[in-house]
Structure 1
Amino acid sequence: MSDRQTAAKRPVSALLTGPYGHPFHPVLVTIPIGAWVASFVFDIGSRAASDASYLVRSSEWLIVIGIVGALAAASVGLLDFFTLPSGTRAFRTGLIHLTLNVAITLAYAANAWWRHGEEDQVAIGPVVLSGVSLVALGISGYLGGKLAFRYGVRVAEEQDQAEGFEPRS
């Protein structure tokens, strides 16, 4: 294993990004993913229910919660990105992942502003924007998975992983 590859497995700061083998970024991304998926479900529900004001408000709150979660995930993800050596496939994949996530978060911020003040149901425009944003989020998640599971970014080295497959003594 090269020194460049080993560096991408180690945290810049265990306090900020999680200790070796336990990165914070994959844990934190569950907040915006869950919030934004739930907001989309509530958006659809607001278009189908007769009295949907509670779904409209809940969806808006979930979008804001997702934005806050995305900022937290981005702060540690950016530090993990700094471990990637430039000029590599992992760096390029990380840069696309980062860029997509910034665009998605900005799209949700615009979406929250666009729908602010709606009462009865979410208009079709913000629903479509949420749907498109979720598709982009899926693509970005695929790239994040590629970073971890294909390139091994912030994943423990194989000799450390082997401990889990040794017989118990």
Structure 2
Amino acid sequence: MESKAKLLGHPIHPMLIVFPVGLLVTAVIFDVVRMLTGDVAFATVAFWCIAAGVIGGLVAAIFGLIDWLNIPAGTRAKTIGMWHGLGNVVVLALFAVSWLLRRGDPSLVPDTLAFVLALAAAVLSVVTSWLGGEMVSRLGVGVDRGAHLDAPSSLSGRPADSGRQRESGSAQPLREREATG
């Protein structure tokens, strides 16, 4: 099932989601480093990583929602997509609350609640990321119809299955063969 939100022939959601996931997980790592070293710079960077990660996650979610709305109802992909999206809403909410609790002085070690919320959100993001990977790798959500190892570049304007040959050696593109039977 092809993505409805694309940029230069590629789905936008997977392009964007790496940034918030990386920023938010890095924030938790920096919190731990701050606790171990006492270096206030790590707490300050964690604070801003959370802010940027939550904003980036909201932007990526827009494109994820567009793709999810186009998945056929009643499919496993629709159900997994729902859990992926709802889980990520919880991840962003937990990180947002953690960020709000830190606003008094971002250079301080986060209080226990702020740290536990961020840690729980980071752990949950592993689960939601796996669900996103399941949708793409296993269920083909966001993958061009007819995708294969020798597909032409998405910038070529040709469908993924153009030039794909049948085992019998037919040079007729797969979409044309399927249409003609």
TM-score range, shorter chain: 0.7 to 0.9
**Which runs of no fewer than 5 residues in structure 2 stay unpaired?**
153-163, 165-181
Question: Percentage identity across aligned positions?
Answer: 28
Where relative contact order (Cα < 8 A, 6+ residues apart) is larger, the structure is 1
Give per-residue Cα distances to partners, 1:86-131, cap 9 Å, x unaligned.
Answer: 1111100000111011111111111100121233322222222111
- Of residues 88, 92, 97, the one that matches 2:84 is 97
**8 A contact 1:29–1:69 mirrored in 2:** yes
Kindly report the root-mean-square deviation, in angstroms, between the aligned alpha carbons of the 2 structures: 1.9
Q: Which has the higher helix share?
A: 1
Answer yes or no: is 1:33 the counterpart of 2:33.
Answer: no
Answer yes or no: is 1:81 the counterpart of 2:68.
Answer: yes
Higher gyration radius (CA)? 2
Q: What's the secondary structure of 2:109's corresponding residue? A: coil
Count how many residue pairs are aligned between Structure 1 and Structure 2. Answer: 152
**Which runs of no fewer than 5 residues in structure 1 stay unpaired?**
1-7, 12-16
- Of residues 95, 118, 121, the one that matches 2:109 is 121
Alignment of 1:1-169 (within 5 A): 8-11=1-4, 17-19=5-7, 22-50=10-38, 52-118=39-105, 119-158=107-146, 160-164=147-151
| TM-score, structure 2 as length reference | 0.77
Aligned-partner Cα distance in 1 for 2:3–2:19:
24
Residue 135 of structure 1 and its aligned partner are, at CA, apart by 1.0
* Structure 1 stretches of 4+ moved >4 Å: none
